Chains A and B, each alone.
Chain A
């Protein structure tokens, strides 16, 4: 929503005649930046509009602190999957198995913790390892075996769904240890004096704002050290204010209820971590390179097979994490868990700016795409639209988002 603010903020009033030109230049810069990242800003604006629409439609219920908390918890597992799926799609592949894998890991978790009373931290680690192994096996066939990912993961989808039913013997297993439930459903602990707000969440929010401001300033200084052009200072300031306002809004919303859900923190770490890897780590660059032009990447010395393998291994691990969160949230492992999750994650990635042919997309985009779907779900539930029409509408949104992208590209002529 931060961009929403940016876009609507008029250029600063011209203090003098020379300032007028600077003001126009600033607006120009903002517009240029937006045009260059049309897809991502477009989706941010769309998300803002959808939020605004449902906020009005539900008489503000959508933005009640309680509902925002719920929204995060309800969508956490799809968002986790969407992050991994985004990497897979950027690399030029697809993964249809993640829904089944989510259920399978949930079943394993139940076998470890419910049937065998294993301590939950150990079980969590084992489950993540199982997910990574499942991803690695699929990745092996795709990267080194040369079998198309669509086929391998379609097979995986059937296999893991079947194994889930075998392990659970068709039954629902539960309940899970309290510690794990707290991670999936709980909030940050209450500390300090009563301020009508959740102190730790406030503190965290302020710390984050401070961190962002510090990072941005450091980044700017480093750019200057390398003698690189930096955006004008007032534009830089505008960006900081917008970012700060967005974080502050979310913090206040969450802090006036029970505080930040623990899952939100996990998501935040994943978003920042994977965002950083995709942008700055060599392996992240290589993922973009193999998706953008595989022959060129190979001729540049990118170890394409290894990178593909790692992308699927990572997807398996994230699917395991999503499976754990899902199972713990509903306090049971069910054979029908994770149904159609792969499709939701794929839809989120495409709404968030991925391209069928690979090489394009960001982790933040996957989150935005996932949130668009999440807010639609939540908002439509609140106003009482049935699941039948919800599916129709979500389908239309996916079509519109990608259609807009195709149309926009054709118009630019690239």
Chain B
């Protein structure tokens, strides 16, 4: 190795109210494949955005040295000009343009403002061959699979004379075969002298392709390990990712005593769901789980594990294509084919994405709270506005929603208060089972504690709670039982006593062995 190609020194990046990166240092050697590891929200993607100029120079502190020179990128074009290309998780291809047009989009082979199709075709064919694709360059992007699209992205990067290729969770959306091909390509490019940074959760992948791995936690660099060294085991990486202390950030919970004999409030059996577009791909694969009244059951998993997809497909089939499985409520099979059916059967789903799926941001607090159960404040189809307002006022006080009146538009509230409105809405619907998807995402510590208290109270009232979260300490602090998911499958079940950050993370990073 010929010394470092990239050095990022003491990077600090602050967003209003949040310190996303507090001190990150990253050194990447010339010609290596460098993996970056960390929990959801640790700051990996932010770091890559700083590097690629998405967050321009001046909005962060610290220095970036590329090939020994200090770089001050003001946008993506500037970093691409230097040969740093980032491929995001959501692919940035235009579906109805051809492969060739996509590869040279914004960077066309042209003569006097007109596209030189002959050169475009020649060069595209060459680049596609380099990434192992034999498709004709005139094929539309929409007509090839996600795996191939990922390769087209790399071809596009190669057209920009890439020196440092950054891949953000490149295999998250791919099946095993395509993942294998992609990883092989990364190794092939390495032979051609291209340095890569790969962000990944999948430890077996990291072991396959990476030379070294940097672990980031809570916006800080924890350590950089040599993957090829003997002592770098998967457990070693895991302990670096999770080593966070558990402070007293949770309400005291009396653990749930399971009553023998009675049927679980909610039981899911052999639930299988396929991706809505890529219908060959199993997103949820034969999952069976149960939750009892008064119990809080956690589901742990990393990005792409299929937790949200599981919850949404159970809640009125609002995600993907159903491919089998049953839902039982108190021991009896129920239909949950539509949201009204699920709600009628006493199931509520509190989304992870409150802005897009949880709230009507332009409407007021009271109207958002009542929406899923308007019948409760209405007679003969007519809403009693005063009763509705009284209900909302009640929640404003009991949930401590910080707003002058319940007539405030929800869009003006802070994240924590918005979350309380979504919770109020579903508590008002009066369900027996609440599925909470990342209920504390993006809210401050104080509001988190309040939400934990509410969840605890719900369980104490005899509701069954399913708690989906990426934050392991939160699951350990709140749950009676925790399931782990990885790549759409259930990979473990832990009692409160058995569960630890390490044991959970081990099951969460358990992927099928990458083929070959």
Chain A positions near chain B (C-beta within 8 angstroms): 36, 219, 222-223, 225-228, 279-283, 285-286, 288-289, 292-293, 295-303, 359-360, 414
Contact = CB atoms under 8 A, between A and B. Distances in A.
Interface in B89-138: none
A414 B409 contact: yes
B393 interface: yes
B356 A293 contact: yes
Nearest to B384: A280
Nearest to B389: A228
Given A223-B386, A227-B390, A288 B343 contact: no
A140 to B, nearest CB: 19
B377 to A, nearest CB: 9
> Which 4 residue pairs are nearest across A and B when measured between Cβ atoms?
A292-B360, A300-B372, A301-B339, A226-B390
Contacts of B374: 282, 285-286
Contacts of B358: 296, 299
B361 interface: yes
Contacts of B446: none
A292 B361 contact: yes
Interface string B479-493: 000000000000000
Given A226-B389, A288-B367, 15 more contacts: A219-B386, A228-B386, A280-B383, A280-B384, A281-B382, A282-B382, A285-B370, A292-B363, A293-B359, A293-B360, A296-B358, A299-B315, A299-B339, A299-B357, A301-B343
A299 B342 CA distance: 10
A301 B370 CA distance: 12
A240 B124 CA distance: 74
A286 B367 CA distance: 10
B13 interface: no
A282 B339 contact: no
Contacts of A283: 381
B412 interface: yes
B308 to A, nearest CB: 12
Interface residues of B, number: 39
Interface in B335-375: 339-340, 342-343, 349, 351, 356-363, 367, 370-372, 374-375
B278 interface: no
> Which secondary structure characterizes the binding site on chain A?
helix
Contact of B383 (A222, A282, A289): A282
B5 to A, nearest CB: 43
B371 A228 contact: no
Contact of B360 (A223, A225, A296): A296
Nearest to B391: A226
A283 B380 CA distance: 11
Given A288-B363, A289-B371, A300-B371, A281 B381 contact: yes
Contacts of B315: 299
B329 to A, nearest CB: 17
A228 B361 contact: no
Interface in B27-52: none
B363 A228 contact: no
7 contacts: A226-B389, A281-B381, A281-B383, A283-B381, A295-B356, A296-B360, A301-B339
**Which of B315, B349, B383 has the most C-beta atoms of chain A within 10 angstroms of its own C-beta?**
B383
A414 B315 CA distance: 31
Nearest to B378: A282
A308 B322 CA distance: 26
A348 B370 CA distance: 30
Contact of B386 (A226, A279, A298): A226
**Which of A222, A282, A285, A301 has the most C-beta atoms of chain B within 10 angstroms of its own C-beta?**
A301
A298 B339 contact: yes
A288 B389 contact: no
Contacts of A300: 339, 371-372, 425
B139 to A, nearest CB: 27
